[in-house]
Amino acid sequence: MSLERIKLPISRSYPPRVSAFSLPFWTALNEGKWITSCCADCGRQTFPPKSVCPHCWSSNVIWSDLSDRGTLYSWTRIHSAPTAFADEAPYAVCIVDLDSGIRLACRLVERDDVTVAPGIPVEIVVLAYEDGPLFAARPMDTVSD
């Protein structure tokens, strides 16, 4: 699986803090791979990646693929943004329930041909900024009857 990359000719407004532990996640995302930490003892994934399993407290974690598909749980459009994001307003953010059971918050890349509403299918994409990647959700094509 390789996530679609959307090139953006700007730098990230608020780049993430990359630690020694999270570096594999950011490197993989830059390569179009969608991974997270998974507990080798209880088998549960966590997002964002964590060095200790929040379910059983094991530090025996490995990297595993995440589902790149999910369902839009909720969304909103931000018009009055914090200072760091003011130049990007208005923009949409959302909460997604991935098919693998993870719920996450991220940017929403809207499409002119899809009406955004809770319950629609979404896919994860890479926003390829000049200074590094971020992830976002984008509505998928819907099948009409």
For residue range 88-104, what is the model confidence (pLDDT) as tens digits?
999 999 999 999 999 99
Tell me, yes or no, whether 69 lies in a domain. yes
In a domain, residue 144? The reply is: no
- Asked if residue 65 belongs to a domain, the reply is yes
Domain count, the chain: 1
Residue 124 pLDDT class (50, 70, 90 cuts)? very high
Question: Is this structure's pTM higher than 0.85?
Answer: yes
Structural domain includes residue 58: yes
Which positions ≥6 away from 105 have C-beta within 8 Å?
93, 94, 95, 96
Does residue 145 fall inside a structural domain? Answer: no
With 60 as the cut, is the pLDDT of residue 143 above it? Answer: no
**Mean pLDDT across the chain, nearest whole number?**
94
Residue 118 domain boundaries: 5-139
Query: Is residue 122 assigned to a domain?
Result: yes
